Amino acid sequence: MNTPRFSLGLMAVASLSLASCGERAPTTFPDSPNGTMTTLAKELNSGNARVLWDALPNGYQKDVSDLVHSFGKSMDAEVHQKLFGALRSALDLAAEKKSIAIEMAKGMGLESDNLKKLEAQYGSIVALLKEAAESDLADAKKVASLDLASFLGGEGSSLFSKFQKVASAWGDDNPLARLAKMEFKAGEEVNGVVPVEAWVDGKVDGPAAPFKKVDGKWFFADLANDWPEMMKEAKGRIAKLDLSKDKKQILDSLGKLEELIVKLKPAKTAKDVQQIAMSSVMDFLPAMGFLGKSGFRMHDRPAVPVQQPKLIEAKKDAVKGLKKDAMKGLKKGMKKAPK
């Protein structure tokens, strides 16, 4: 079980939810690593998103709050608002085009069983995303002062519970359902580190996850070791978040996206959607260039840069071929010309 990475994924999901009333109370964890994981699993299974916040050591809570607030202060408010406006428009379109979305998913090779699950849960998925897109996340000023504990304990937990209901349709493929079945056993402590194994149906589920104490709380050792570098990288990215030079280009691209959404409304089939989208692809080349310049690249696909020299050579060969053909044509023309 890759517990640290799994937990990070859950944090990301929960952090997309927003907060207000009906808050969950803070969770108290037992002073043991396996007890910590048992409590974490139990609370998540009950729909408590705030437990992810309570599980963080105090210093890490401050780090995350500072990051979120820095982002809210650094993000251009007009761009942020326009982005969420486009997102809401896209979700409204998605709600109208369920049959087309299912048709496209089928065309992408989604298995029949998963296709049926997607069709059954489609409305709930779109509604969940729309609810989040209409929340305080759409306001950069509110993000700049967001109380994350309240955020996750209130509507965050409400949305997380709805997410659980959607995810439950996937049965054993749902990691949350699997987490609820786990029993956690601690090994022997060595140099302050305790391995914790997850057991499901009497069998060990993956490798043990090491835990150690940070600020008095048992926490994932691997994640704790990576934390300083992760925070340094995140702070560096936010510090460079200056959209002033590219603001017009970004707003223009978002405007083009909203225009595309309007064009897609009459679409009746997946083929219609593809044709309309392809006819507008040139409108988004500036945005793609901006994303590349900003560091949003496919890091997990090294084949692209590796193939670049081959592409350059192919272009050179093509140019040589054109020159050669041109010279042949010129010579033939000279032979046929009257003396």
Q: For strand 209-214 and strand 203-204, is the pairing parallel, antiparallel, or unpaired?
A: unpaired
Task: Judge contact between 65 and 234, C-beta under 8 A.
Answer: no
At residue 77, φ and ψ (nearest 5 deg) are -60, -40
What contacts 80, CB < 8 A, 6 or more positions away? 138, 139, 140
Burial 67-89 (b: 16+ CB within 10 A, else e): bbbbbbebbbeebbbbbbebbeb
325 in any annotated domain: no
The number of domains in the chain is: 1
214 in any annotated domain: no
Name the token pair of 229.
């570098």
Domain that holds residue 149: 33-183+231-281
pLDDT value of position 83: 96
Our CA dihedral for 184, 189, 193, 195, rounded to 10 degrees, sits at -30
Name the nearest CA neighbour of 145 among 209, 73, 247: 73
pLDDT value of position 306: 40
Q: Is 293 helix (H, G, I), strand (E, B) or coil?
A: helix
270 in any annotated domain: yes
pLDDT, tens digit only, all 339 positions of the chain: 554 444 444 444 444 444 344 578 899 999 999 999 999 999 998 889 999 999 999 999 999 999 999 999 999 999 999 999 999 999 999 999 999 999 999 988 888 888 999 999 999 999 999 999 998 888 999 999 999 999 899 878 888 988 888 888 776 667 777 787 899 999 999 999 999 999 999 999 999 999 999 999 999 999 999 999 999 999 999 999 889 888 999 999 999 999 999 999 999 999 999 999 998 887 776 666 655 555 555 444 444 344 444 444 544 554 455 445 544 544 444 444 444
pLDDT value of position 287: 62
303 in any annotated domain: no
Q: What distance lies between CA 270 and its chain's CA centroid?
A: 25
Name the token pair of 318.
């093509």
Gap between the Cα atoms of 280 and 300, Å rounded: 27
Q: Is 111 helix (H, G, I), strand (E, B) or coil?
A: coil
161 in any annotated domain: yes
pLDDT value of position 23: 76
Name the token pair of 77.
């408010």
pLDDT value of position 74: 94
265 in any annotated domain: yes
Task: Judge contact between 137 and 84, C-beta under 8 A.
Answer: yes
* Cβ-based neighbour number of residue 310 at 10 Å: 9
Element (H, E) at 211: strand 209-214
Gap between the Cα atoms of 270 and 214, Å rounded: 52
Place of tokens 């408010």: 77
* Cβ-based neighbour number of residue 195 at 10 Å: 18
Name the token pair of 200.
């499901």
pLDDT value of position 285: 67
Task: Judge contact between 10 and 127, C-beta under 8 A.
Answer: no
21 in any annotated domain: no
pLDDT value of position 176: 75
Q: For strand 194-200 and strand 203-204, is the pairing parallel, antiparallel, or unpaired?
A: antiparallel
Place of tokens 């369920």: 98
Instruction: Give the burial class of 143: count Cβ atoms within 10 A of its Cβ; 0-12 exposed, 13-18 middle, 19 or more buried.
Output: buried
171 in any annotated domain: yes
> Alpha-carbon torsion 127, 155, 74, 215, what sign?
negative
